[in-house]
Amino acid sequence: MKCKSLAQATEEIFKYFDARGQKSIRLATPLGLGKPNQLLNSIYNRIKTDSTYSLDIFTALSLDLPEAKSDIEARFLGPFIEKQWGKDYPRLEYLKDLKRGGLPPHINLHEFYYNAGAFKQNAYMQQHYLSMNYTHVARSLKDSKVEVIVQLIAKRGDSYSLSGNTDLTLDVYDLLAAEGKTPFMVGVVHPDLAFLGADAEVEHDFFDLIVESPEVNHKLFAVPREALTEVDTLIGLHASQIIEDGGTLQIGIGSLSDSIVHALLLRQRDNQQYRKIAESFTPKEFREIDAIHRAPFQEGLYGTSEMVMDGFMHLRQAGILKRTVQDKDQS
């Protein structure tokens, strides 16, 4: 079913649970960018004012805007926030409530990944943190009896994509479906979300509800980038020399990841200059290591990460990220 508004989608979700005679809702939503904040806010606000329902939210990395603690911070943050996240970024209502006093007793939030240090002084978040390895998350969500999954998705023509939040959604769906407990699937289309193919591309009937509304057009959340320091740059340069052609690269978020990508791009695009720089900054002890690799990539690298950042895109465009692998169960 397609919905043209967030209000309609919210009503359909509650109709689904009401038809089952169920007042408890166990909802999962992807980490980071994959959250449809506006729909989550609509569901949360509905249940917040109606304690006949209960809500358990299972997620990770709930992103939020920085908040000023003084007048001078506010005067700096105002223009910065507008430039970085736009004027209308929909903050998560449950996060705002958590920071201002807490959630209603009939609503619980369970997260398995926080921004470092974000909730050091928040007793609720400390007590409800789910400590687990990323590879165990899908199993844990299955055991938590998740009933509905809501996710921001991309659209191209008549096709839909889970974009950068593919892994857990598909894994949880398959685990629940295998037990005959297929979750109620809700996709919210964002016009600017990147359309990824392969396993990320799904048919329309993968979803029970697809929301395509002009209300969903806010600027996507972007992590501010710090300038690379000299130390970051040299760490990336040294690390790039132990990355073997035909190998696998795992990088995540942050300046060190950016510095490694920058060094690899230089190694591929201007190898003569790369060798000159690498030699001039290589300590004597490092020169004696056998596993030094400075040649351009021929076979290329395979990329793996729980959070795919744009560095992989640049490596792909440069012809570095091109090695493929095949799952054993598909061979």
The contacts found for 258-261 with CB under 8 angstroms, 24 or more apart, are 258/225, 258/228, 258/232, 258/311, 259/228, 259/232, 259/233, 259/235, 260/236, 260/311, 261/236, 261/311, 261/314, 261/315
| Spatial CA neighbour of 9 closest among 47, 42, 35 | 42
For a pLDDT cut of 70, what percent of the chain falls above it? 95
Question: SS3 of 303, please?
Answer: strand
Tell me which residue of 39, 15, 138 sits closest to 92, measured CA to CA. Answer: 39
Tens-digit pLDDT profile for residues 231-250: 999 999 999 999 999 999 99
Length of the chain: 331
Per-residue pLDDT of the chain (331 residues; tens, 9 = 90+): 899 999 999 999 999 999 999 999 999 999 888 899 999 999 999 999 999 999 999 998 888 888 888 999 889 888 888 888 888 889 999 999 988 888 999 999 998 887 777 777 778 887 878 788 878 888 988 999 999 999 999 999 889 999 988 878 999 999 999 999 999 999 999 999 989 888 889 999 999 999 999 999 998 887 777 788 999 999 999 999 999 999 999 998 888 999 999 999 999 999 999 999 998 887 776 655 556 899 999 999 999 887 777 899 999 999 999 998 876 665 4
Q: Which helix (H) or strand (E) holds 143?
A: helix 137-143
Give, in degrees to the nearest 5, the angle at Cα 139 between 135 and 143. Answer: 155
List the one residue out of 225, 202, 213 whose CA is nearest residue 90. 213
pLDDT for 141-193, tens place per residue?
899 999 999 999 999 988 999 998 887 899 999 999 999 999 999 999 999 99
- CA separation, residue 33 to residues 1, 219, 255 (Å): 24, 11, 20
Q: Which CATH architecture has domain 230-323?
A: 2-Layer Sandwich (3.30)
Q: Identify the CATH homologous superfamily for domain 2-211.
A: Glutaconate Coenzyme A-transferase (3.40.1080.10)
What are the domain boundaries of the chain? Answer: 2-211, 230-323
Cα distance between residue 274 and residue 161, in whole Å? 38
